[in-house]
Chain A
Amino acid sequence: VSVTVGRLKLAHPLLNASGAWDAVEAHRLFGTANPGLAGFVTKTVTPEPRAGNPAPRIAPSRMGLLNSIGLPGPGRDAFLASLLPELATLVEGPIVCSVGGFSVDDYLGTVERLEEHPDCAAIELNVSCPNVESGCASIGGDAGETERLTAAARAATSKPLFVKLSASVADIAEIARAAEAGGADALVCINTVKATAINRWTHASRFGGGGGGLSGAAIKPVALHAVLACHEATGLDIVGLGGVETLDDVLDLMAVGATAVALGTSLFRDPSLALQLRDQLAA
């Protein structure tokens, strides 16, 4: 069941969604860093260390989960010097590094250094996080910006280059074509869907920070539509994700054009889900 997605070879089609798995904690708690996953996608790396958004960061939703985490992380220098080499000793399979920022230069500075880092197998440009104040989703919401960033990253790396898209745009096919024109090897569809939770008495957000993204089973039909639209619009390989919980969900996304499938929110309820799905895929 091995697959190649955007020139990245995987032993089977299952990955984690960026941000939805911590391989270091998993190794410490479960004795295995990425059980059932063919590789590991890191949390998004930003140039400077980020504390993330103030609490509360999550809110419940029927058939889903709302979050406004805000990309906490150690920053580029610490990631490259210590976290990435540590991950390489722990995880099975290739490491895909998710890159984020607030300007093209933010992304490029990280991509250039990942190009030289032996532990990075592929690069995912996160242009779709709904929970940071600028950059990111505002790049991925604009076809011209997406093409410009992708082309700049393409010029800076020969490694497989993925672009992670948001469905919270007017026309995801247009953004997908822009990523293809910029030289992406694959698309990752989709990030969380822009959403919010409020206190109706005060009209205040239930989150401590801004933004808000919906994940979980509620968005699976949105992901299905996005993967289909991107598959019809481009010739690129696609990592499909959004609300995947069952083998049927995996097969549905693959039926409309996904070569690989990632798990996010469903891993929170069952960290062994990828092991089960991998065995079901192989059966």
Chain B
Amino acid sequence: MACGFGACNGCAVELDGTWKRCCIEGPVVDGARLVA
């Protein structure tokens, strides 16, 4: 993770089928959203 505050878009993870920032939408998420 480069910035950790939503600026860089570097920590993208696929969540609910779209790319989300782990630092903002996460960092802790329901595992089901990761594999949906």
Contact residues in B for A20 (Cβ distance below 8 Å): 7-8
Known A-B contacts A52-B19, A55-B12; A26 and B7 likewise in contact (beta carbons under 8 Å): yes
Q: Tell yes or no: A67 within 8 A of B by CB.
A: yes
Contact residues in B for A54 (Cβ distance below 8 Å): 19
Among candidates B4, B6, B9, B13, residue contacting A69 with C-beta atoms closer than 8 Å: B9
Q: Tell yes or no: A171 within 8 A of B by CB.
A: no
Q: Tell yes or no: B3 within 8 A of A by CB.
A: yes
Known A-B contacts A25-B24, A51-B18, A55-B19; A67 and B7 likewise in contact (beta carbons under 8 Å): no
Q: Tell yes or no: B35 within 8 A of A by CB.
A: no
Q: Tell yes or no: B10 within 8 A of A by CB.
A: yes
Contact residues in A for B19 (Cβ distance below 8 Å): 51-52, 54-55, 72
Complex CA–CA separation, A271 to B6 (angstroms): 11
Query: A191-229, CB under 8 A of B: which get 1 and which 0?
Result: 000000000000000000000000000000000000000
Q: Kindly state the interface size class of chain A when it binds its partner.
A: 20 to 34
Known A-B contacts A51-B18, A52-B19; A271 and B5 likewise in contact (beta carbons under 8 Å): yes
- Say how far A147's CB is from chain B's closest CB, in angstroms: 31
Contact residues in B for A51 (Cβ distance below 8 Å): 18-19
Contact residues in A for B6 (Cβ distance below 8 Å): 22, 25-26, 29
Residue of B with least CB distance to A53: B12
Among candidates A29, A52, A265, residue contacting B12 with C-beta atoms closer than 8 Å: A52
B9 touches A268 (CB 8 A): no
Count of chain B residues near A, Cβ 8 A: 17
Query: B1-36, CB under 8 A of A: which get 1 and which 0?
Result: 111111111111110001100001000000000000
Contact residues in B for A271 (Cβ distance below 8 Å): 3, 5, 7
A65 touches B2 (CB 8 A): yes
Among candidates B2, B4, B5, B14, residue contacting A55 with C-beta atoms closer than 8 Å: B14
Q: Tell yes or no: A21 within 8 A of B by CB.
A: yes
Q: Tell yes or no: A169 within 8 A of B by CB.
A: no
Contact residues in A for B9 (Cβ distance below 8 Å): 19, 52, 57, 69, 72
- Say how far B12's CB is from chain A's closest CB, in angstroms: 5
Query: A24-38, CB under 8 A of B: which get 1 and which 0?
Result: 011001100000000
B5 touches A69 (CB 8 A): no
Q: Tell yes or no: A58 within 8 A of B by CB.
A: yes
Complex CA–CA separation, A245 to B6 (angstroms): 20
Residue of B with least CB distance to A43: B9
Query: A3-28, CB under 8 A of B: which get 1 and which 0?
Result: 00000000000000001111001100
| B residues adjacent to A (C-beta < 8 A) | 1-14, 18-19, 24
In the complex, given contacts A72-B19, A268-B8, what are 8 additional A-B residue pairs having Cβ atoms less than 8 angstroms apart? A22-B6, A51-B18, A51-B19, A52-B12, A52-B19, A57-B12, A67-B8, A271-B5
